[in-house]
């Protein structure tokens, strides 16, 4: 069933059901009787009613508003700039980053053995750091004793030469293990980033269409761009620094305990106070970071929509309206980002104040303790270092947790609920050349619970025209063949294989389609025609020549090499008709046994439509073709027509037979076009039926002549191949 899109709630009174779309996503499915009672849209209905009363002009055939009559500010409000989030409650609810998320991130990039190996490197590195500091304190104390007592014998292990050698060995060991620790952590993070991106990309590609209908583009772009950039560039160094500073804090505490055990009490109190401050900060900062991330998504969506419709915006002179929308979205994002930065500054000030209190307490304690000067210097330096390390650790913990929000957001999309069966590994795979015939069988096929069920058998090589009024379910039937829409009940078989048992990649890779809206990608003509380089240039030129596109492509090329001509994004440097013919040439090149055509002549003029239909008829003579068309003349060449209404088949048969059914639904459709058009279609149907009869006669005659005339099989097939049937 196709849908009717309307802004007027009066238009849906007779519909079977209604889909409410707000801010770019599907929000509800309701019956028309309940539509006006929905609280989510009642305000909009009332507002539209008020606007109708205010703006109702005297009865005229046409009412035109010039751009000058609509202020830019009001025009900007007509464009919905606030992108719907996946779930507002989900975004704004306090949510702590769990240790499970850290483990999932690390485990994605490594094994448990690797994590243990990294832990060993971290411990050894910090032990070497601590031994170096203690050795310097011991060395300084030994030098002081030697100067005070120059006649005292010196141990071989206390000589300056030995101390320099030992210190050099310690430094070399520190560099080696620290470098190894950093490399291992970076490797784990980068591997985790690569794996997460692969999961995200695959999950996005493999998702069902419902996932894209309910998810705004800005959220997906945000996760694939900004969030992945944070995971790739910012998280690895931040994570490495956090691990390093945690072990440095443990080393500083051990040195303080070695100097004087009682110093560890204020140090631990200092760490506890900073953790309390951090907890207070993080409750706010995490939500601010989530708000900032979701305030960024509408900017991407707005830019994407603006670039797609920039020609229309300029044609109507609405540049200022879209600039105002962008400025407002940018202001919202800047406000949330400023709050996040302010929270970080508050954290730094509080931690500095707590650090000053701790250092002051330690310094005052030395007036009452008898400690050697070297130990005093080491203790004070370590206390200052500890205060700096704790402040740095709090900042890095904050940065890590806010950056782990990006991991959380990406993993939410990496495991979508609407994931399709992209590949099916259970059971036997279809043959490599499947489908070999192109026979399609639909048995009790129901797309919704209301449908009666479609039973349709399409023989191999048949040309089937699917007709019906808007919303009758024509396109939905094609979607079921591609499994874009999963059937509610029933089955579809191609060459005896149920489509439910075939992965989406296998299924969609073996069926060609000419869509109503042609699809082209930025690149070259060759990349659009043959992205996997499976065909030669001559084969591509033959397909383009059949579609009368070879001359146009040649003119676009550089130095006559038209296949390297640049295709801009969405094929914007091609006309709509040219893009449609490129899609036809792509289908000709693929040479699949099944071709689906969804309104292929919708954007073509009369002559181009004839060329399109003739190519489908001739180049896919041995393929099964399903053609959806509003132009009745386009389906007259088909072997059989299928008339749909309300998602069910109400009639089927050869075109001429359906035209002669004066009480049939197809006859009623054609009758509305006028008597002259009906007569022309009847004549066209008669010609096509006679052509099919002649074709069958010639084919049976040729086959019957083979054993009696002694003609070789290759000679007979050659005559058939060169005939103009």
Upper half-sphere CA count for residue 155 (Cβ side, 13 Å): 7
Q: Residues 150-171: pLDDT tens digits?
A: 766 667 666 778 888 888 998 9
- CA 606 to CA 634: how far, in whole Å? 10
Backbone angles phi, psi at 235, to 5 degrees: -65, -45
Q: Which residues contact 647 (CB under 8 A, 6 or more apart)?
A: 1, 447, 448, 450, 451, 472, 473, 476
Residues in the chain: 725
Least confident interval from 109-123, 377-391, 471-485, 645-659:
377-391
Q: Which residues contact 177 (CB under 8 A, 6 or more apart)?
A: 121, 124, 125, 128
Confidence check: pLDDT of 560 > 60 = no
The secondary element (H helix, E strand) that includes residue 718 is helix 713-722
Q: Where are the alpha helices (DSSP H) in 149-234?
A: 160-206, 209-214, 217-222, 228-229
- Within 10 angstroms of residue 200's Cβ, the number of other Cβ atoms is 24
Question: 473 and 413 in contact (C-beta within 8 Å)?
Answer: no
Residues 690-702 have a mean pLDDT of 72
Query: Which two tokens mark 277?
Result: 């401050």
| pLDDT of amino acid 62 | 36
Strands (DSSP E) along 31-178, which ranges?
none
Look up tokens 């809206």; give the residue. 517
- CA 653 to CA 103: how far, in whole Å? 62
| pLDDT of amino acid 69 | 41
Confidence check: pLDDT of 289 > 50 = yes
Q: Residues 35-53: pLDDT tens digits?
A: 544 444 443 444 444 433 3
- CA 132 to CA 175: how far, in whole Å? 12
- Within 10 angstroms of residue 517's Cβ, the number of other Cβ atoms is 13
Q: Which residues contact 264 (CB under 8 A, 6 or more apart)?
A: 253, 256, 257
b/e 261-297 (16+ beta carbons within 10 angstroms → b): eebeebbeebbebbeebbeebbeebbbbbbbbbbbbb
Q: Which percentage of the chain shows pLDDT scores above 90?
A: 10
Mean pLDDT of the chain: 77
Q: How far is CA 528 from CA 432, 518, 552, 557, 571, in A?
A: 24, 12, 15, 14, 10
Q: How far is CA 590 from CA 418, 454, 538, 583, 604, in A?
A: 30, 29, 14, 11, 22
| pLDDT of amino acid 212 | 73
Confidence check: pLDDT of 382 > 80 = no
Which domains are assigned to the chain?
A: 9-64 (no CATH), 98-414 (1.20.1560.10), 440-651 (3.40.50.300)
Question: 473 and 644 in contact (C-beta within 8 Å)?
Answer: yes
| pLDDT of amino acid 92 | 44
Q: How far is CA 193 from CA 110, 356, 618, 670, in A?
A: 11, 39, 50, 59
Sign of the CA dihedral running 52, 58, 64, 68: negative
The one-character DSSP state at 529 is H
Check whether the bond before 435 is cis (ω within 30° of 0).
Answer: yes
3-state secondary structure of 95: coil
Nearest to 525 by CA among 498, 554, 497: 554
Name the pLDDT band for 203 (thresholds 50, 70, 90).
confident
Name the pLDDT band for 86 (thresholds 50, 70, 90).
very low
| pLDDT of amino acid 626 | 93
Question: 219 and 87 in contact (C-beta within 8 Å)?
Answer: no
């Amino acid at each position: 069933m196709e849908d009717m899109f309307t802004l007027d709630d009066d238009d849906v009174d007779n519909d079977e059901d209604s889909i409410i779309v707000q801010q770019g996503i599907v929000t509800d499915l309701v019956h028309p009787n309940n539509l006006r009672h929905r609280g989510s849209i009642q305000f909009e209905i009332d507002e539209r009613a008020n606007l109708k009363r205010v703006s109702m002009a005297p009865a005229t055939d046409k009412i035109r508003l010039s751009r000058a009559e609509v202020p830019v500010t009001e025009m900007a409000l007509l464009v919905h700039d606030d992108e719907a989030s996946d779930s507002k409650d989900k975004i704004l609810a306090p949510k702590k980053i769990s240790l499970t998320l850290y483990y999932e991130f690390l485990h994605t990039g490594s094994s448990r053995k690797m994590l243990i190996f990294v832990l060993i490197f971290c411990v050894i590195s910090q032990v070497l750091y601590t031994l170096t500091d203690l050795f310097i304190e011991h060395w300084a104390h030994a030098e002081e004793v030697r100067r005070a007592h120059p006649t005292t014998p010196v141990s071989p292990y206390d000589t300056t030469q030995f101390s320099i050698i030992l210190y050099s060995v310690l430094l070399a060991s520190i560099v080696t293990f620290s470098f190894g620790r950093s490399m291992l952590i970076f490797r784990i993070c980068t591997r985790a980033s690569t794996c997460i991106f692969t999961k995200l990309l695959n999950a996005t590609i493999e998702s069902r269409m419902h996932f894209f209908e309910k998810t705004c583009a800005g959220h997906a772009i945000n996760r694939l761009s900004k969030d992945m950039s944070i995971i790739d560039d910012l998280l690895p160094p931040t994570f490495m620094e956090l691990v390093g500073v945690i072990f440095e804090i443990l080393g500083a505490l051990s040195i303080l305990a070695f100097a004087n055990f009682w110093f560890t009490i204020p140090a631990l109190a200092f760490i506890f106070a900073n953790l309390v401050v951090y907890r207070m900060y993080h409750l706010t900062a995490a939500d601010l970071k989530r708000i900032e991330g979701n305030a960024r998504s509408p900017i991407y969506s707005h830019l994407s929509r603006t670039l797609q419709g920039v020609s229309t915006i300029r044609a109507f002179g609405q540049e200022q309206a879209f600039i105002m929308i962008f400025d407002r979205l940018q202001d919202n994002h800047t406000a949330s980002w400023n709050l996040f930065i302010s929270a970080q500054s508050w954290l730094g000030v509080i931690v500095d104040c707590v650090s000053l209190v701790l250092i002051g307490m330690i310094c005052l304690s030395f007036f009452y303790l008898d400690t050697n000067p070297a130990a005093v210097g080491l203790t004070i330096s370590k206390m200052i270092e500890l205060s700096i390390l704790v402040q740095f650790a709090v900042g890095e913990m904050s940065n890590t947790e806010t950056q782990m929000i990006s991991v959380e957001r990406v993993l939410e999309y990496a495991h979508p609920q609407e994931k399709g069966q992209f590949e099916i590994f259970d059971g036997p795979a279809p043959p490599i050349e499947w489908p070999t015939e192109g026979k399609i069988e639909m048995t009790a096929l129901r797309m919704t619970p209301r449908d009666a069920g479609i039973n349709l058998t399409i023989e191999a090589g048949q040309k089937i025209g699917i007709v019906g009024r808007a919303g009758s379910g024509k396109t939905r039937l094609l979607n079921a063949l591609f499994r874009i829409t999963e059937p509610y009940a029933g089955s579809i078989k191609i060459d005896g294989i149920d489509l439910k048992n075939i992965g989406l990649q296998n299924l969609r890779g073996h069926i060609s389609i000419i869509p109503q809206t042609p699809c082209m990608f930025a690149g070259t003509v060759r990349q659009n025609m043959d992205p996997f380089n499976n065909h030669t240039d001559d084969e591509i030129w033959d397909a383009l020549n059949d579609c009368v596109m070879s001359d146009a492509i040649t003119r676009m090329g550089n130095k006559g090499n038209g296949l390297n001509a640049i295709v801009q994004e969405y094929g914007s440097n091609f006309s709509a008709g040219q893009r449609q013919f490129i899609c036809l040439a792509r289908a000709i090149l693929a040479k699949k046994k099944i071709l689906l055509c969804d309104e292929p002549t919708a954007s073509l003029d009369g002559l181009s439509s004839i060329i399109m239909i003739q190519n489908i008829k001739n180049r896919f003579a041995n393929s099964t073709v399903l053609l959806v068309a509003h132009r009745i003349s386009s389906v007259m060449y088909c072997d059989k027509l299928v008339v749909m209404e309300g998602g069910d088949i109400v009639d089927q048969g050869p075109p001429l037979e359906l035209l002669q059914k004066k009480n049939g639904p197809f006859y009623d459709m054609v009758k509305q076009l006028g008597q002259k058009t009906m007569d022309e279609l009847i004549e066209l149907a008669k010609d096509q039926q006679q052509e099919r009869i002649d074709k069958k006669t010639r084919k049976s005659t040729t086959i019957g002549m083979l054993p009696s005339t002694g003609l070789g099989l290759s000679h007979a097939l050659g005559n058939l191949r060169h005939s103009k049937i």
